[in-house]
Amino acid sequence: MSTTAKAAAGTADYLDQRTGVGKAVKEFARKVFPDHWSFLLGEIALYSFVVLLISGVFLTMFFVPSMALIEYHGQPASMDGVLMSEAFASTLHTSFEVRGGLLMRQIHHWAALLFMAAIVTHMMRVFFTGAFRKPREVNWIVGIVLMILGLAAGFSGYSLPDDVLSGNGLRITDGVVKSIPLIGSYMSYFIFGGEFPGEDIIPRLFTVHILLVPALILALIALHLFFVVLHKHTQYPGGGRTDKNVVGFPLFPVYVAKAGGFFFVVFGILALMGGTMSINNVWNYGPYDPSPVGAGAQPDWYMLFLEGSLRLMPGQTEYVIGGYTLSLNVLIPAVVIPGLLFTFLIVYPFLEAAVTKDKREHHVLDRPRNVPVRTGLGVAFLTAFIILALAGSNDLIATHFSMSLNAITWVFRILFFAGPVFAFWITKRICLGLQRKDRELVLHGHETGRIVRFAHGEYIEVHRPLDEQERWLRVNYDAHRPLEIEPAQDARGVRRKGYKKDRRMQRLSRFFYEDRVEPVTPAELAAAHSHGEHDTLAGAPEHQEIGSGAPVGGGRTIVSPETGPDEQNR
């Protein structure tokens, strides 16, 4: 035994005697994780959070969370001799005098934007593949809370340098808070310690940004990952992958290297961005002063949807009721709309389970096409989100595409309602189309481009049947049917309790599953093959095909997909 091995064994023995760590190592070292690029989206979020912690600790060493006014002397020239808060001055000091300070600031900010972008794409992956289904509903909620905390972390950090841009963001926050009925004014005082902006908000946000929110995020990330280990990771459908197993590579060594390596890739790309692309150059905006505002006054991208929602709302909806002012023109876009969006995300897994009457555990992911309504709703949701974010950028759209700001606003007002509906409809149609394409492929095989002439002069194209792995991929799903409910009255003609509720659920269920494409059954495949010697012909050398005289199922008899209840119900 080498000395290193001896030392390792000694340490392991010491630790195990005191912690029983051997059991954990045995349990987890070779734990299997499935391999797919989309499973790394969550890791991007996790790693950008780690980068945020590392760069954030660096920044706290130099940041002064104080609103006390001082006259700044130093770089850049446009800030020399300007009166500003210590928070802003220390941001300038970090950027221009601390070596690597500007790099760290930029890495930190890019990491924050990436963190939210990765969270959103990770959520999209989870949503569209149905990974939120039982037993993972709770973890989906944990994820949504993490996303909301991410928004809080981003917004509080964005405001810390006390510049004109973020100061106006805080002012908008103040305006939104004031619009809350009854308690608005007091909420505003609660946040700012008096009137806006006061002298407390930066220190308060600092505590929120470096203690409260990161601590919560860390705790919830731990919970999130604990659930991943507990449930074992989901896997994409394929041969040998079932709800009862997990197929992939062991944690040690493959994922230690792949996931560990990916951390360095994420950090490396963030370093590259921080070193080459400027972000949030606060000296451009200047220290906060309530008078100025810059064109292009926008929040970071993940808050743009709120900005857009505020921009789109017409002002007529402010009412005075009994002498009290109800600002629906602010409440609806800034409180109700985001409330609806988040509620949809939280409720969706439970809604889908209810209309599907599905109580099983699911570990094999859905292909998005196989659940057309879910996919459609997801795309509709994203469409609404994107339209709001674009509306939040309407001034930049106007200048970059030479259009009228007012016209763009009107177009987005209409699109906000029409866009998601259209997106839902078209997505659902595309999904159903892809499912039919799958059926056709399973029944008739791939087109080969080889044209064959029969002795009697008929031309057909040879189709190559699917191998069993590919076929399995395309047939292995459940086409759920709408719920069937008990009649309104029982056998004795007594009205049944709960019938109305069932009926509502059934209507919803019909919305989900009325249109569907059933997977091909072995019987259907056999029937398709009996049209001709599909397999033998396709596999045979070409010269034999000519004149073989056997009619072939493909090409000529393009599928009339027996899509079952789908067409019948229309």
Partner 1 sequence: MSDHQHSSEVGTTSSNAPGAELERFDDPGLPEHKSRMADRDPKAAKRAERQIVVLFAISVIGTIASLIVYFAVPPGETTASVRLSTLALGLGMAFALLGIGVGAVHWAKTLMSDHEHVDERHEQRSSEEVRAEAVKALTDGAQDSGIGRRGVLKGAVISALALFPLTIAVPLIGSVGGDWNVSKFRHTRWERGMRLAIDPSGRPIKAADVTIGSAVHVIPDVSEEERLSHAWITEKAKAVVLLVRLDPRELKEAEDRVGWSYDGIVAYSKICTHVGCPVALYEQQTHHLLCPCHQSTFDVADGAKVVFGPAKRPLPQLPITVDDEGYLIAQDDFDEPVGPSYWERLK
Partner 2 sequence: MKALAARRHHRFAPVVLLLLALLVTGGVYAALAPSPASADTASTADIETGQKLFQANCATCHGPAAEGSTTAPSLIGVGAASVDFQVSTGRMPMQMEGPQAIEKPRQFDEEQTAQLAAYVASLGAGPAIPTDEQVDPALGDSANGGALFRTNCAMCHNAVGAGGALSEGKFAPALWEVTPRNIYQAMQTGPQSMPVFNDATITPEEKRDIITYLVEQREGSAGGLSLGSLGPVSEGLWVWVVGLGLLIGAAVWIGAKSS
Tell me which residues in 212-231 interact with partner 1 (CB under 8 A): 230-231
Which of partner 2, partner 1, none does residue 254 bind to, with CB < 5 to 8 Å depending on kind? Answer: partner 1
Least distance (Å) between residue 110 CB and partner 2: 6
CB atoms within 10 A of CB 392: 23
Burial of 509 (0-12, 13-18, 19+ CB in 10 A): buried
Which of partner 1, partner 2, none does residue 228 bind to, with CB < 5 to 8 Å depending on kind? Answer: none
- 552 contacts 534 by C-beta, under 8 angstroms: yes
- To 10 degrees, what angle do helices 164-178 and 137-159 make? 120
Query: Distance between CA 5 and CA 25 in Å, rounded?
Result: 17
- The CA R_g of the chain, rounded to the nearest whole Å, is 30
Which of partner 1, partner 2, none does residue 401 bind to, with CB < 5 to 8 Å depending on kind? Answer: none
Judged by CB under 8 A, the chain residues 134 through 153 that form the site for partner 2 are none
Considering only residues 243, 458, 490, 535, which one is a binding residue for partner 1 as defined by CB under 8 A? 243
Least distance (Å) between residue 390 CB and partner 1: 14
- 153 contacts 86 by C-beta, under 8 angstroms: no
Nearest 10 degrees: Cα torsion 177, 182, 185, 186: -100
Judged by CB under 8 A, the chain residues 347 through 386 that form the site for partner 1 are 356-358, 360-361, 363
DSSP string covering 338-359 = HHHHHHHHHHHHHHHHHHHT--
Stretch binding partner 1 (CB under 8 A), from 122-130, 198-206, 209-217, 419-427: 198-206
By rule CB under 8 A, what string of x and - marks binding of each residue 84-103 to partner 2?
Answer: -----------xx-----x-
Of the candidates 516, 306, 284, the one whose C-alpha atom is nearest the C-alpha of residue 392 is: 306
DSSP state of 453: E
Query: Distance between CA 85 and CA 333 in Å, rounded?
Result: 32
Least distance (Å) between residue 563 CB and partner 1: 15
Which of partner 2, partner 1, none does residue 402 bind to, with CB < 5 to 8 Å depending on kind? Answer: partner 2
For residues 171 and 436, which CB has a smaller minimum distance to partner 1 in the complex? 171
Considering only residues 475, 517, 528, 537, which one is a binding residue for partner 1 as defined by CB under 8 A? 475
List Cα–Cα distances, 13 to 9, 21, 25, in angstroms.
Answer: 6, 9, 13
Considering only residues 9, 14, 27, 100, which one is a binding residue for partner 1 as defined by CB under 8 A? 100
* β-bridge mates for residue 235, sequence order: 364
Which of partner 1, partner 2, none does residue 121 bind to, with CB < 5 to 8 Å depending on kind? Answer: partner 2
By rule CB under 8 A, what string of x and - marks binding of each residue 304-323 to partner 2?
Answer: x-------------------
Q: Which two tokens stand for residue 394?
A: 């309407």
Beta strands in 2-122 (DSSP E): 32-33, 69-71, 83-85
CA atoms within 13 A of residue 259's CA, in its CB half-sphere: 21
Query: Distance between CA 369 and CA 379 in Å, rounded?
Result: 12
Which of partner 2, partner 1, none does residue 407 bind to, with CB < 5 to 8 Å depending on kind? Answer: partner 2
Least distance (Å) between residue 129 CB and partner 1: 17
- 82 belongs to the binding site for partner 2 (CB under 8 A): yes
For residues 26 and 492, which CB has a smaller minimum distance to partner 1 in the complex? 26
Judged by CB under 8 A, the chain residues 429 through 448 that form the site for partner 2 are none
- 389 belongs to the binding site for partner 1 (CB under 8 A): no
Considering only residues 53, 434, 479, 559, which one is a binding residue for partner 1 as defined by CB under 8 A? 479
**CB within 8 Å of 485: residues ≥ 6 apart:** 499, 502, 503, 505, 506
Considering only residues 91, 106, 375, 383, which one is a binding residue for partner 2 as defined by CB under 8 A? 106
Judged by CB under 8 A, the chain residues 247 through 306 that form the site for partner 2 are 258, 261-262, 265-266, 269-270, 273, 275-281, 284-286, 289, 291-302, 304
- 112 contacts 102 by C-beta, under 8 angstroms: no
**CB within 8 Å of 498: residues ≥ 6 apart:** none
For residues 297 and 386, which CB has a smaller minimum distance to partner 1 in the complex? 297
Judged by CB under 8 A, the chain residues 346 through 405 that form the site for partner 2 are 392-396, 398-399, 402-405
Burial of 219 (0-12, 13-18, 19+ CB in 10 A): exposed
Sign of CA dihedral 55, 56, 61, 67: positive
- 287 contacts 83 by C-beta, under 8 angstroms: yes
By rule CB under 8 A, what string of x and - marks binding of each residue 478-517 to partner 2?
Answer: ----------------------------------------
CB atoms within 10 A of CB 379: 21
Judged by CB under 8 A, the chain residues 71 through 90 that form the site for partner 1 are 75-76, 83
Judged by CB under 8 A, the chain residues 172 through 191 that form the site for partner 1 are 172, 174-176, 178-186, 188-190
Judged by CB under 8 A, the chain residues 165 through 224 that form the site for partner 2 are 165
- To 10 degrees, what angle do helices 337-356 and 372-391 make? 180
For residues 231 and 446, which CB has a smaller minimum distance to partner 1 in the complex? 231
- 39 belongs to the binding site for partner 2 (CB under 8 A): yes
Residue entry with tokens 């989100």? 385
Which of partner 2, partner 1, none does residue 238 bind to, with CB < 5 to 8 Å depending on kind? Answer: partner 1
Judged by CB under 8 A, the chain residues 258 through 317 that form the site for partner 1 are 258, 260-269, 271-272, 274-276, 288-297, 307, 310-317
- 520 contacts 439 by C-beta, under 8 angstroms: yes
Considering only residues 46, 114, 191, 371, which one is a binding residue for partner 2 as defined by CB under 8 A? 114
Which of partner 1, partner 2, none does residue 87 bind to, with CB < 5 to 8 Å depending on kind? Answer: none
For residues 266 and 364, which CB has a smaller minimum distance to partner 2 in the complex? 266
Which of partner 2, partner 1, none does residue 174 bind to, with CB < 5 to 8 Å depending on kind? Answer: partner 1
Q: Which two tokens stand for residue 77?
A: 């020239």
- 300 contacts 158 by C-beta, under 8 angstroms: yes
